[in-house]
Amino acid sequence: MSFDICVFHSSAAPHQPIEFEKWYRQITEWDIYQEYDDVSVCQSDLQEWYKSMIRRFPVMNGRDQESSAQAFLAAHPEANGDEAEMLLENSMADYSLSQNLIYAAFNWDLASEVYMMARDEAFRLGLGFFDLSNNRVYFSSSDIMLMPDEYGNIPEPVAPLVDSTTEQVSGDISELRQQMRVDMYRDLYEKSERSQDNLNEIEKKAFTDKNAMFGLMCFILWFICFLCFLVFQKVFDFNKWGDILGFVFLLCIFMLIVRLFVRSVVASTHLKHRTGCFFRRK
């Protein structure tokens, strides 16, 4: 895992997050047919930043690999043999050079040292500094822009920081992301409350009229049973009161059964609606 940063010419970079990201993406879509190890293509201030950095962090790949390694070892005469080779290997960095931007990847163990040196050198030369690990762009020590986070949201601008340490920068970003998560969950809760209110209104409206619906069903069933009674009377010649009363008694039992059935259907439907609500007040 590497610690990646980039420095850029401030006058060439857009000062809006979306435009800056497009500009940055366009430059860092490295063309495989083009070499990015020639510092002469960079503007003069970027060249000076690069030469300052490779004295402490030699070039891993490219034209300046051998010369920067020799200069680094000459600056550390106390190290020799395997110790010098290991020190050199751990200190190397991979630089990608373009006209208005330099992208560099360093050993993660050196992140704090790299951050402070690269940023201070950029400010000294009037360059912009992009801290990729915290999505923070410095156009100067007091002109700071936050880039979109992993959700695509752009946080509210924060007060300029004249001199922040790596820990402070990381803490600010963590606090912003935490606040965004809180806002997201608050919005979800409010939406769930509104959805629950709407569901309660629909449920109330649906089951407020259940008595009227039940009465209508009973009327229809009584009408059907009356027609059946007339048919049975014609077919079986019900002329005796006993037969008529017996039929009415059976009819009442049938209606009671039907009423219990209808109520059970309504109750089961009501229960289905209640348990089907994901967000429900207790």
Which pLDDT tens digit goes with each residue over 48-105? 999 999 999 999 988 899 999 999 999 988 888 888 889 999 999 999 999 999 999 9
In this predicted structure, what is the pLDDT of residue 156? 45
107 vs 38: CA distance, rounded Å = 22
90 backbone φψ class: left, alpha, beta (φ>0; ψ -120 to 50): alpha
Long-range contacts of 15-19 (CB under 8 A, 24+ apart): 15/139, 15/145, 17/145, 17/146, 17/147, 17/148, 17/154, 18/148
User: Is the CB of residue 8 less than 8 Å from the CB of residue 26?
Assistant: no
H or E element at residue 106: strand 101-107
264 vs 261: CA distance, rounded Å = 5
Six-digit token string for 153: 């949201």
Q: Using CA of residue 38, residue 39, residue 40, residue 42, what is the dihedral sign?
A: positive
127 vs 11: CA distance, rounded Å = 9
In this predicted structure, what is the pLDDT of residue 268? 65
User: Is the CB of residue 161 less than 8 Å from the CB of residue 129?
Assistant: no
In this predicted structure, what is the pLDDT of residue 239? 58
CB atoms within 10 A of CB 270: 14
Q: Look at 216 and 46; give whichever has higher pLDDT.
A: 46
In this predicted structure, what is the pLDDT of residue 163? 42
Residues near 91 by beta carbon (within 8 Å), at least 6 away in sequence: 56, 57, 58, 72, 107, 110
User: Is the CB of residue 108 less than 8 Å from the CB of residue 1?
Assistant: yes
Among 46, 38, 51, residue whose Cα is nearest residue 129: 46
In this predicted structure, what is the pLDDT of residue 256? 72
Residues 185, 189, 191, 195, Cα dihedral to 10°: 150
Residue 161 has pLDDT above 50, yes or no: no
In this predicted structure, what is the pLDDT of residue 189? 63
